[in-house]
Amino acid sequence: MTDVPQTYDETGAVVHCQLFYVNDSQQAQVESLQSLIAEHTLPIILDIEVATEKLTQRRRQQLSQASTQPILLLDNKDKLSWLSDGLSVAPEWDKLQRRVVSAGRKSELLLQAAKITSDSHVIDATAGFGHDSLILASTGAQVTMLEQQPLMALLLLAEQQRMSALPNWQKLMSRLQIINADALSYFANLEASTVADNATTIDVVYLDPMFPEDSYQDSKTGKGAKVGKHMQALHQLARPPTLDEERQLLSSVQAVVKQSMQGQGRVVVKRPQFAPLLADEPASESWHNEAVRFDGYFV
Ligand SMILES: C[S@@+](CC[C@H](N)C(=O)[O-])C[C@H]1O[C@@H](n2cnc3c(N)ncnc32)[C@H](O)[C@@H]1O
């Protein structure tokens, strides 16, 4: 991890965040953020302030540099973003509208790999900004989104709430369930419980774990994915798993899908195109373009 403020902690310690809002009419939005934190028992304490100066790019840089805590901004359109190194990052699901509307197996490699239908239940175990979850949910499938970082989980929950107010998005939003949890413990618990305890089936589990920041492109040819601002920001928060964690996660996820689907399920793993296999485990089938690869494990 680089430049990680001390308030971040993988042991589940409380995260103190500064929240700036821009005008007094936003009290209701601030309260609803507090309610989301309480309802989902997110270990986050907000130190709330109204921004007295205009939040220009220069001011954002200053705030980022001066603070040891993560900073959240509630802008004048009530969009919640995280100020990471002076750059505001947010899920911004509305920007994916065209992609979501036209998403299908032809246009989305992820959907070719996942092969889901509107009856499916998918767990996106590494939700991040939720972009891949939206593509998965565009099929009509139910998507459970796991995100280990409380700050990211809050951004996702706030975005779900904001987008649920837009009539065109309501159905899709109702198919998303966001949970602040570590996938390793979540699947270990599921694995330990009996089939009877697990009422809902899990057709597909999708994994897009962090990958070392300098390894998205092939070192010789320079080919591969560019690291966008969302991924750059995530690298401040989360680290790539160790080989041991990769093995534990993949085997526990495979066991749960196998138990649920008895040979009809799959685990799909996203990797940069030239990246090694997750946990060094050979895939049943892979799909790739010039930037990314999806490895499918049929279980
Ligand atoms: C590469 S990003 C995923 C990006 C995502 N696919 C998207 O479309 O925005 C990985 C995310 O998974 C989260 N993550 C990593 N390991 C996790 C785990 N064991 N359990 C839950 N979330 C995890 C990280 O905090 C990060 O937000």
Q: pLDDT digit string (tens) for 122-158?
A: 999 999 999 999 999 999 999 999 999 999 999 999 9
Pocket test for ligand 1, best of 95, 109, 148 (most atoms within 8 A of CB): 148
| Ramachandran category for residue 49: left, alpha or beta (phi over 0 → left; psi -120 to 50 → alpha) | beta
Residue 222's pLDDT is 63
Q: pLDDT digit string (tens) for 186-202?
A: 999 998 887 667 678 99
DSSP 194-250: -GGG--S---EEEE-----GGGSB-TTT--B----HHHHHHHHH--PPPHHHHHHHH
| pTM to 2 decimal places | 0.93
pLDDT at 296 over 50: yes
Ligand 1 atom at shortest distance from the alpha carbon of 133: 8
Confidence of residue 224 (pLDDT cuts 50, 70, 90): low
Ligand 1 and 182: CB distance under 6 A:
yes
Helical segments of 40-143, H only: 57-66, 97-102, 109-114, 131-137
Q: pLDDT digit string (tens) for 248-287?
A: 999 999 999 999 998 899 999 999 999 999 999 999 999 9
- For residue 80, report the distance from its CA to the centre of ligand 1, in Å: 19
Ligand 1 and 103: CB distance under 6 A:
no
Name the one residue in this structure whose structure tokens are 């969302």: 230
Residue 5's pLDDT is 41
Instruction: With beta carbons less than 8 A apart as the criterion, state whether 33 and 154 touch.
Output: yes
Nearest to 264, CA basis, from 299, 233, 292: 299
d(C-alpha 130, C-alpha 239), whole Å: 18
- For residue 23, report the distance from its CA to the centre of ligand 1, in Å: 32
